[in-house]
Amino acid sequence: MKIEIKRLERKDAEIFVNIVERAYNYDDRNALHTIFQVNMDTQEDGCLAISLDGKYVATGCFFVYGYLAWIGFVGVLPEYQRKGIGTMLFRHILEELNSRNVRIIRLDASFKGYGLYKKFGFVDEYPSVTYEFQKIPYPKGKVCILQTLTPEIIDLDSQGFGEKRIKALEAWIKRGGKILATNEGYALLKMKSVGPLIAKDLEEAEILLSHALNMGARRIIVPHSNFRAVRLISKLGGVERNRTMRMRLGGKIKENIPCIYGILSLAKG
């Protein structure tokens, strides 16, 4: 059996889409095509795929933010799972990140992937919980709608996240994402999701979230260790739909959890 690891290019979108669609039971191919282009804009050399005798069966991506890297979209076609393919690809990604002198690696683990990441030495941090909204609250306060990142937003996001991730944010803005901003907070609205949502206090977070929901957002992913964020979601009628475990390899990142009311995504942090 011939096994090859390929670094995906923009023209290889169908490889990524076909694998992730089946591995994750993802039912929106158009959204996956957009996500792949966002991946390329964020880390052009960061998506890999494994082929067996010419058939692509697994994919995985990494995104480097300075000293920090994120791993996402590690998926294997159902009929090829539990054959060591995911382990092979994941080990290859870790070796590449090590060669780039990354000090901290993070990811959000599903139940299926949790054991694999534990085997490689990843430790638990906190759950990341996806919520959906059916009822839309009346918008509170006022927000500004921006099409570009300002220095203030970049600084605020870096303080919350722990490192700069300008390319990832700009990639979503390029594809229709909107920035909602207040004096002490901001949120990114993209593909019916809101996140990141970074705010210095609960009131600012509620203003941003209520406006994002009125503009079409229906989902948010919340770091469960921010109890104020969890209470806010409950107050606004959010219903839990999915739970993953945020995990880390290496030292602890200097993120500001009390300011994070919504994360960017499970794949990119």
Q: How confident is the model at residue 162 (pLDDT cuts 50, 70, 90)?
A: very high
| pLDDT, the chain, mean | 96
Ranges of CATH 3.40.630.30 domains, the chain: 3-102
**Cis previous bond, 196, omega within 30:** yes
pLDDT of residue 112: 87
What's the rounded Cα separation, in Å, for the pair 99 and 238?
A: 42
pLDDT of residue 177: 96
Ranges of CATH 3.40.630.90 domains, the chain: 130-262
Query: Six-digit token pair at 246?
Result: 């945020």
Mean pLDDT of 174-182: 96
Tens of pLDDT, residue by residue over 119-161, are 999 999 999 999 999 989 999 999 999 989 999 999 999 999 9
- Judged against a pLDDT cut of 90, whether residue 109 lies above it is answered with yes
pLDDT of residue 101: 87
Q: Are 204 and 268 in contact (CB under 8 A)?
A: no
Read off the DSSP letter of residue 194: E
Q: How confident is the model at residue 212 (pLDDT cuts 50, 70, 90)?
A: very high
CATH assignment, 3-102 = 3.40.630.30
- Judged against a pLDDT cut of 90, whether residue 7 lies above it is answered with yes
- Judged against a pLDDT cut of 90, whether residue 266 lies above it is answered with yes
Read off the DSSP letter of residue 49: E
- Judged against a pLDDT cut of 90, whether residue 182 lies above it is answered with yes
Query: Within 10 Å of residue 93's Cβ, how many Cβ atoms?
Result: 19
Mean pLDDT of 245-258: 95
Tens of pLDDT, residue by residue over 215-250, are 999 999 999 999 999 999 999 999 999 999 999 999
pLDDT of residue 1: 78
CA-nearest of 269, 258, 268 to 230 is 258
pLDDT of residue 186: 98
Mean pLDDT of 182-200: 96
Torsion sign over Cα 125, 128, 153, 249: positive
Query: Six-digit token pair at 36?
Result: 């792949």
Q: Check if CATH label 3.40.50.2000 holds for domain 130-262.
A: no
pLDDT of residue 203: 96
- Judged against a pLDDT cut of 90, whether residue 69 lies above it is answered with yes
pTM for this model (two decimals): 0.95
pLDDT of residue 15: 98
Q: How confident is the model at residue 6 (pLDDT cuts 50, 70, 90)?
A: very high
